[in-house]
Amino acid sequence: MSTLPGRDHMSSSSPSLDGKGGTKVGKSTKRTGPNYVYYRLYTKLGAFESNHPLYYNDRFIGRIPSKSFSPPHTRCLCKLESLSEPNKALVFTPLSSPTPKEDSARLSLYAPSGPGLSEQDPIALVVESEKRTKDVAQPEKLPERSDHTDIHYGKAFRLYYRVYTSEGEGDETAKTSFDESDISLGRINTLFIAPPHTAGSLKACIAKVEGLVTPGHARYKDMELFQDMSSDAAMSDADVISFQGDTYLGSEEGDPIALANATTNTAADQKAKPTPDGPDSNFTKRARLTTSIGYKACDPAWLSTNIDEIVYTDGVILSMRYSYTGGYMVINSKGEKGCEFPVCLWSLGGC
């Protein structure tokens, strides 16, 4: 019997390669079980929540079945998240990549491993705005992220900082303070900093969290970031920063970075007062309280609220006592401002 050109000869007793039976030949490189793509969403100011969160108490990590993706993948992810301006979106794989992927590049969604195929190695999607093109129903049942899920949420991803105003009146009270004996020391999670990781993206993230002026404001360019408290020269916004490993810029509580010449965003700093038509200032994100956790008695910073009450928030996650996931600053129906757990809030849109 002659052998067909370009094909190996198989006898009738050889294993079948058509998937209908026989012994499996070679080692499969395709993952078994459900395939998912994991990702994080950012604007240039930092992270924001996904419409498809993996955990009910951590909505910053999203997960979507691989089969839901159609090429081009960047635009598809924007569509699945109902995000506007997909043509301006950038994809970074891995999260620490200094440059975005080319628009024409495809993601390896069915490989055994790689960027986007695990919670520990998510894709980063950076968009122009958090604005959604439509409201999406949130999943009713989601698992809880344990405090010990993995090191990505632990001590190794904390960054410490101090802020000094342009008036030169000393260090300011940090909105992310966590130590009552040193309230000017702030702390953020490096996973909230938008890629590419530079001094500029770090400065923008701190500015958003602290209610300072952000890129585009006339006085933003006057703010300077110093790599530690003893530095004489400020960093350039283009300086690349790595948050890999156990030691990195601002990783030690006793050696924080410093943001000098900071200017407060006056509109954001004013106490917002809800009007009959909605909230003022930056508190434009509307949410309904699904449960109430009574920490008001332990800490006056927490807000006294009622289940099903409509509240407004600016969407900035803060480091808070009694909460390893942090909390949001919200305004209730009485115009009172205070903190609330992310798990207690159900988004009603208005971003």
The closest alpha carbon to 67, from 119, 115, 110, 116, belongs to 110
Per the DSSP assignment, residues forming a β-bridge with 240 are 198
**pLDDT at residue number 243:** 93
**Average per-residue pLDDT for the chain:** 76
Report the predicted TM-score, pTM, of the whole model to 2 decimal places. Answer: 0.69
pLDDT at 69 over 60: yes
Whose tokens are 């910053």? That residue is 60
User: Which alpha helices (H) appear in the chain, and where do they start and end?
Assistant: 73-80, 199-209, 266-269
Q: Under DSSP, is residue 27 helix (H, G, I), strand (E, B) or coil? A: coil
153-194 per-position pLDDT tens digit: 445 689 999 999 876 666 788 988 888 899 999 999 999 999
Which helix (H) or strand (E) segment holds residue 124: the answer is strand 123-126
As a whole number, mean pLDDT of residues 115-119 equals 87
Contacts of 120 (CB under 8 A, 6+ apart): 150, 152
Calculate the CA dihedral of residues 104, 105, 111, 116 and round it to 10 degrees.
Answer: -110
As a whole number, mean pLDDT of residues 228-255 equals 94
pLDDT at 272 over 50: no
**pLDDT at residue number 267:** 56
CA 71 to chain centre: 24
The two structure tokens encoding residue 257: 């970075």
> In angstroms, rounded to a whole number, what is the distance separating the alpha carbons of residues 283 and 333?
13
Range with lowest mean pLDDT among 166-170, 219-223, 317-321: 317-321
Which helix (H) or strand (E) segment holds residue 329: the answer is strand 323-331
pLDDT at 134 over 80: yes
Contacts of 201 (CB under 8 A, 6+ apart): 44, 193, 194, 195
Q: How confident is the model at residue 348 (pLDDT cuts 50, 70, 90)?
A: very low
For residue 222, report the phi and psi dihedrals to the nearest 5 degrees: -80, -20
pLDDT at 259 over 90: yes
**pLDDT at residue number 256:** 97
Most confident residue range from 101-115, 144-158, 161-175, 337-351: 161-175
pLDDT at 249 over 90: yes
Most confident residue range from 82-96, 142-156, 323-337: 82-96
Cβ of 105: how many Cβ atoms within 10 Å?
Answer: 13
> In angstroms, rounded to a whole number, what is the distance separating the alpha carbons of residues 304 and 126?
35
Q: How far is CA 129 from CA 67, 83, 192, 346, in A?
A: 26, 8, 15, 20
Q: Sign of dihedral through CA atoms 301, 306, 312, 316?
A: positive
> In angstroms, rounded to a whole number, what is the distance separating the alpha carbons of residues 121 and 223?
32
